A and B are shown apart, each in its own frame.
Chain A
Amino acid sequence: MQITIDGKILEFHKGQTILDIARTNKIEIPTLCYHKMLKPEGRCRVCLVEANSKIVTACDTLAEDNMQVVTTSERIRRLRLEALNLIASTVPKETLRKENELTKTMRLVGFKKPTYKHNIVKDKDKSSAAIWKSMDECIVCGRCVQACSKMQTVNALSYMGRGYSTIVVGSENQPLKDTTCVSCGQCSLFCPTDAITEASDISKVEKALRLKSKIKVVQVAPSVRVSVGEFFGLEPGTIVTGQIVASLKKLGFDAVFDTNLSADLTIVEEAKEFVDRFKKGNLPMFTSCCPAWIDFCCEFYPEFINKLSNTKSPQMMLGALIKTYYAKRLGLKPSDIISVSIMPCTAKKREAKLKNINASNVKDIDYVLTTRELGQWLKSKKINPAKLLPAEFDCPLGESTGGGALFGVTGGVMEAALRTAYFYIKGEEMKDPKIEPIRGTKSLREFEVNIGKNKVKGAVAHTLERAREIIERIKKGESFDFVEVMACPGGCIGGGGQPKPVDWEAIEKRAKAIYSIDENKKIRLCHQNPDLKRVYETFLQKPGSKKAKALLHRKYPKRGKPQQQD
């Protein structure tokens, strides 16, 4: 079939929209509410074009054979300007001075300043430990609601009111913390303005850094090192591990530790748990490193809570080691240490505040910052990591293996865990640690891996829509041994705290970078981590020991999301 856009005759296939065809042929049509990873809803009316002499929105109008489309004309230009005038008038002036998708579209269309008076919407919600919502900046593009209800099937957000008083609220107009919200942060990631953001902790961390009497330590999650460079003009997937360490030192931290090390530790404990359960039953075992997934399972599928692995997430494991093992080595009380983590994730903010999550008698993790917050913070301090000399993570919690690195990407936990489980079951190492069938970007992947005579049947899901799908299938009688779930698209590299705007190409580039970190490591099997070996020898004894259980494993509620402290 053929369509003519601005005089060019182009081929297309059924089901393509005018925008799809234009973009594949490098014809620019400005959009705002449209996002490639979501279903077009046609709410913002910016992408207007003329199709067969009628004005239509390009993002949600299917192309027809022999359609005549005009994307640039004086009429179209004026209509788009009017659309932006109406939209820009709904947000405060500061929003129009920031760099965001709204201002980007404004530039593209050539729109300067709204002529209507802004009327203030006073609805603010700071109830959640992970997500803040301020409706004055909302342009009702619908992305957050769609991400929450379709991609995550959580339905924590809905619309309230009608006409110009329409706003996005927690479902049934409840504060977000009282909804089913699992804190994944996808709503904030897709928000084209800053109407929904992470619950910001930058100022609290800055204040803590000024406390002279404390030792300030920070950890960096696997996927942050392949994305934070994007704030400084680097390509997605540029690995800036050493530069992050150097920047954090510049910001004033005393020690910078690697969450990849505790990812190794998670694998050592989780693979042990899996092998035990594989022998004794109680399968499938679900991974437990994604707190949004934990919330989801506890909230929507309490009958599966006993299938969750009880190993803590890498963030909490390193938090535990920092406030016990590390404190002991330095002869400090846990309360002498401020422990901060840099995460791709908003759910980790809530995780750090859960009841019964701490190994020490204080909070194991005091503050969590997202990749975005780190980027913002560095920018405000005029620190450009790209211009710094790389530095090394600190002893004694700085060494990591390729397996730990994989935590950042969907399928990574599964791959690393099976490498170690292989060793536990067979007593020998895998010849090639790359387990191909686990990899890929499909949002639900199933595979079988042979370990000696044993067949392990596994599944990997990312986005909670797919998690729901696999659970429903298990409920109908299908059986799996090991299931990995990550709430965010692509895994933590597409996490709710990652750079905006998100797009799938960036996620894929970050994934590639994660795999290359794994490949370039001399040691790729988590249980061979030398720092960890020392931790076990001098402190934890052995995987699954009483002490390991006490410090590195957790309990879940019987039903409903785990509760927060305070």
Chain B
Amino acid sequence: MTEKKILFDSALKGAGIALSKTPTEVIEVVKNSGLRGRGGAGFPTGLKWEIAAKSQGEHYIICNADEGEPGTFKDRLILSTVPLNVIEGIIIASHAVGAKQAYIYLRGEYNYFLPKIRKAIKKARPLMEKIELNLDIVVGQGAYICGEETAILNSIEGHRPEPRKRPPYPAEKGLYGSPTVVNNVETLAMVPLIFLGIFDPKKRLCSLSGDVEKPGVFEILEGKQIGKILEEAKPIGIPKAICFGASGGIMPYDPCMEITEENIKERGCFFGSGTIIIVNHTHSIVELCESIQKFFVHESCGYCMSCREGSKRMLEYIKRISAGKATMKDLNKLEELCNFVSVASFCALGRSMPLHILTALRHFREEFVRKCR
């Protein structure tokens, strides 16, 4: 996989400009830029900062670098090519909300980046000193749930990585009960570009993999046709479906579909973390669901019953279908169970877990039905 430099290297200039402004001005600029979270939920970044800044207590910034979504590796590319942009983002965010302590919560598997990140921190030290910011790196506990921002809080506090009830949102009551901004790597890396005047909210990074010759990170402009992107990545075989990571759902491949949040949402899917996995004609959707579901069974944190037990029972159903041992009644029960888990689970992990099955049943139902007795 080529690790081409895909983002403009701000080289501390963005942060330099931002620190010459007042925190309120910085928040205003970020709000007006149209930047939204790139980790999943897509919450407006400036607004998040504003909520935190207005909440009482010490303030914390956390950079979520626990990139655990299968088929997602854009944060890895950012950290290896422009780590300084991320540090700048952290500095600007800290200045905006008044944080004196920030953390990078790094995925365990990415700890080989530590020297690179430390070097970047060293370069940024003068700016950090200017705002009396201390920045620590916490290496994650290797659990998918740590991508969930409240689970990160528990993990940093030394507790079992489990999600917390929201509200209160971390921006109001986060780490140690204090207002905390949790931003994803890509989000923070965009922040200095705003101050250099070169940020375009219509562009975002996307991790593309699956049945393609050239997987990698692509910068895509909203509205671009998926077929055009695939021309670059060179499909292997005949593309049949697009899978948006484990939690983004599965939909039929349509080369003319323009990539926009709305178009994807219309098909029941979710483009939150910018993940595209191309699935070709040789794969069975049932088997794809089985492997995704195995992932979830392994990654459910165990906090709430619905995700803990539901994930296991969902996999049992899919295995039975896959083995040709299920009846149509089983299929209906599976669907009912999926609907239960998607509304009854405690956190976003559980609630989005059934999406791959529900969308597969919507778009590829006959593949399931064919296997049922």
Cα of A166 to Cα of B302 in the assembled complex, Å = 6
The reply to whether B160 and A163 form a contact with Cβ atoms under 8 Å apart is: no
The reply to whether A45 and B302 form a contact with Cβ atoms under 8 Å apart is: no
Interface segment among B10-18, B187-195, B309-317, B360-368: the answer is: B309-317
Contacts of B344 in A (CB 8 A): 45, 48, 55, 79, 82-83
Cα of A104 to Cα of B313 in the assembled complex, Å = 24
Contacts of B306 in A (CB 8 A): 45, 83, 86
- B152 at the binding interface (Cβ < 8 Å): no
Contacts of A89 in B (CB 8 A): 309, 313
Interface segment among B28-36, B45-53, B335-343: the answer is: B335-343
The reply to whether A163 and B313 form a contact with Cβ atoms under 8 Å apart is: no
The reply to whether B305 and A140 form a contact with Cβ atoms under 8 Å apart is: yes
Closest to B168 in A: A62
Among A45, A78, A79, A86: residue with most chain B CB under 10 A:
A45
- B297 at the binding interface (Cβ < 8 Å): yes
Q: How many residues from B make CB contacts under 8 Å with A?
A: 29
The reply to whether A139 and B305 form a contact with Cβ atoms under 8 Å apart is: yes
Cα of A82 to Cα of B335 in the assembled complex, Å = 12
The reply to whether A163 and B301 form a contact with Cβ atoms under 8 Å apart is: yes
The reply to whether B302 and A87 form a contact with Cβ atoms under 8 Å apart is: no
Given A82-B337, A86-B309, A163-B308 in contact, is the A62-B167 Cβ separation under 8 Å?
yes
- A159 at the binding interface (Cβ < 8 Å): yes
The reply to whether A82 and B336 form a contact with Cβ atoms under 8 Å apart is: yes
Identify which of residues 320-373 in chain B touch chain A, using a CB-to-CB cut-off of 8 Å: 336-337, 340, 343-346
Contacts of A48 in B (CB 8 A): 343-344
Determine which of B165, B297, B300, B343 lies in contact with A42 in the assembled complex, contact meaning CB atoms within 8 Å.
B165
The reply to whether B298 and A43 form a contact with Cβ atoms under 8 Å apart is: no
Cα of A101 to Cα of B363 in the assembled complex, Å = 42
- A161 at the binding interface (Cβ < 8 Å): yes
- A116 at the binding interface (Cβ < 8 Å): yes
Q: Smallest Cβ distance from A49 to chain B, in angstroms?
A: 11
Q: Smallest Cβ distance from A295 to chain B, in angstroms?
A: 25
Identify which of residues 279-306 in chain B touch chain A, using a CB-to-CB cut-off of 8 Å: 297-306
The reply to whether A159 and B302 form a contact with Cβ atoms under 8 Å apart is: yes
Determine which of A60, A83, A116 lies in contact with B340 in the assembled complex, contact meaning CB atoms within 8 Å.
A83
Among A43, A116, A162: residue with most chain B CB under 10 A:
A162
Contacts of B311 in A (CB 8 A): 163-164
Contacts of A163 in B (CB 8 A): 297-302, 308, 311-312
Contacts of B145 in A (CB 8 A): 162
- B229 at the binding interface (Cβ < 8 Å): no
Among B145, B165, B167, B308: residue with most chain A CB under 10 A:
B308
Identify which of residues 172-191 in chain B touch chain A, using a CB-to-CB cut-off of 8 Å: none
Contacts of B233 in A (CB 8 A): none
- A443 at the binding interface (Cβ < 8 Å): no
Q: Smallest Cβ distance from A57 to chain B, in angstroms?
A: 8
Contacts of A42 in B (CB 8 A): 165, 304, 346
Cα of A45 to Cα of B344 in the assembled complex, Å = 6
Q: Smallest Cβ distance from A102 to chain B, in angstroms?
A: 12
The reply to whether B309 and A90 form a contact with Cβ atoms under 8 Å apart is: yes
Q: How large is the interface on A (under 10, 10 to 19, 20 to 34, 35 or more residues)?
A: 20 to 34
Q: Smallest Cβ distance from B168 to chain A, in angstroms?
A: 10
Q: Smallest Cβ distance from B304 to chain A, in angstroms?
A: 5
Closest to B336 in A: A82
The reply to whether B308 and A164 form a contact with Cβ atoms under 8 Å apart is: yes
Cα of A55 to Cα of B345 in the assembled complex, Å = 10
Contacts of B336 in A (CB 8 A): 78, 82
- A306 at the binding interface (Cβ < 8 Å): no
- B127 at the binding interface (Cβ < 8 Å): no
Closest to A80 in B: B344
Determine which of A86, A87, A158 lies in contact with B160 in the assembled complex, contact meaning CB atoms within 8 Å.
A158
- A438 at the binding interface (Cβ < 8 Å): no
Identify which of residues 23-76 in chain A touch chain B, using a CB-to-CB cut-off of 8 Å: 42-45, 48, 55, 57, 60, 62
- B143 at the binding interface (Cβ < 8 Å): yes
Given A45-B346, A79-B343, A79-B344 in contact, is the A162-B299 Cβ separation under 8 Å?
yes
Q: Smallest Cβ distance from B85 to chain A, in angstroms?
A: 34
Cα of A87 to Cα of B309 in the assembled complex, Å = 8
Given A44-B305, A163-B308, A164-B312 in contact, is the A60-B345 Cβ separation under 8 Å?
no
Closest to A158 in B: B160
Identify which of residues 155-201 in chain A touch chain B, using a CB-to-CB cut-off of 8 Å: 158-159, 161-166
Cα of A199 to Cα of B311 in the assembled complex, Å = 34
Q: Smallest Cβ distance from A168 to chain B, in angstroms?
A: 11
30 contacts between A and B (CB under 8 A): A42-B165, A43-B304, A43-B305, A44-B305, A45-B304, A45-B306, A45-B345, A48-B343, A57-B346, A78-B336, A82-B340, A86-B305, A86-B310, A87-B305, A90-B309, A116-B313, A116-B316, A140-B308, A162-B143, A162-B300, A163-B297, A163-B300, A163-B308, A163-B311, A164-B300, A164-B302, A164-B312, A165-B302, A166-B301, A166-B302
- Which 7 A-B pairs rank lowest in CB-CB distance, beginning with the nearest? A166-B302, A163-B300, A86-B309, A55-B343, A164-B312, A82-B340, A45-B306
Residues of A whose CB lies within 8 Å of any CB of B are 42-45, 48, 55, 57, 60, 62, 78-79, 82-83, 86-87, 89-90, 116, 139-140, 158-159, 161-166
